[in-house]
Amino acid sequence: MIKDLPPNIVKDIAVVVALESESVEAKTWYVYIVNLKNEAIDNVLITSKGYGEKDGEQVKTSVLRHSFPRIEANSYKLIEPIDEQTFGLANEYWVSYDIGREIFDKKFIFLPESIVDGNFIKLPLVNKPGVMIS
């Protein structure tokens, strides 16, 4: 039965962690979903959580849920702020959306210590420095 389902491969959708602002005291980071498609996506559902090991102990963050009725073509939406202290954990964003009558979903995982200056690019559409997974 599952073999009869279409693969519905996620393309041209990205989750990014962007450096919003920087001061002597702190850096401000936000997570965005970016629709690089030439068509809108509908009924966007996103769950986010962090997990891993910190100081020798297993750590899990709360699971947060976000929804957007529609994300237009070549645009982005703010998912949530993210604390620098979670960069040592795996930060997972599970994205589900519709195009017409088809459902698509994919997990985007920022591995521990992957959100570092050496991995920064200029993020498309968001136009800020940060890390992108597509």
pLDDT digits (tens, 9 = 90+) for 82-98: 999 899 999 999 999 99
106 in a structural domain: yes
Tokens of 45: 């559902």
59 in a structural domain: yes
Which residue range forms the structural domain that includes residue 53? 10-123
Give the pLDDT score at 43.
Answer: 97
3 in a structural domain: no
Q: Which residue has the tokens 């994205």?
A: 95
- In the chain, which stretches have pLDDT less than 50? none
CATH code, domain with 108: 2.60.40
Query: Which residues, at least 6 apart from 43, have a Cβ–Cβ distance to it below 8 Å?
Result: 67, 69, 96, 97, 98
In the chain, the number of structural domains is 1
**Sign of the torsion formed by the C-alpha atoms of 76, 82, 87 and 89:** negative
29 in a structural domain: yes
pTM assigned to the model:
0.91
